């Protein structure tokens, strides 16, 4: 049985939250896992759509621009801020964001 786009995005966002938790071990990453679990697939797709619409920020690895996206939930913004402080996490982080943006843009 194949996954819907929403199911796929939820799975990948959950994977990202688990990775962040293993790297940072912070309470906010647990909050992100809980946040993902409580979201509808349409909400997760909306976030991916925001990233897709602002894919230039991802392409340029623009932390400041990402921080200015007002519709990104606070739980995610906290994680973005924590990852920004860790250079060793940047590459994988941007790959995740690129994946989210690409998946949703391929469904439009």
pLDDT digits (tens, 9 = 90+) for 39-51: 999 999 999 999 9
- Mean pLDDT, all residues of the chain: 89
Token output for 43: 């909400």
Contacts of 73 (CB under 8 A, 6+ apart): 35, 47
Burial class from Cβ neighbours inside 10 Å (0-12, 13-18, 19+) for residue 106 reads exposed
- Distance (Å, whole) CA 62 – CA 56: 8
Contacts of 8 (CB under 8 A, 6+ apart): 103
**Length of the chain (residues):** 108
Mean pLDDT, to the nearest integer, of 47-71? 93
**Per-residue pLDDT for 82 more than 80?**
yes
Q: pLDDT value at position 41?
A: 93
The pTM for the full model equals 0.89
């Amino acid at each position: 049985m194949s996954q819907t786009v929403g199911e796929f995005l939820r799975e990948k966002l959950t994977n990202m939250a688990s990775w962040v938790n293993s790297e940072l071990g912070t309470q906010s990453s647990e909050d992100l896992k809980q946040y993902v679990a409580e979201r509808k697939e349409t909400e997760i797709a909306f976030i991916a759509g925001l990233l897709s619409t602002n894919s230039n920020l991802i392409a340029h690895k623009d932390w400041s621009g990402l921080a200015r996206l007002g519709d990104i939930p606070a739980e995610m913004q906290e994680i973005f801020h924590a990852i920004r402080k860790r250079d060793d996490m940047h590459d994988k982080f941007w790959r995740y964001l690129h994946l989210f943006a690409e998946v949703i843009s391929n469904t439009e």
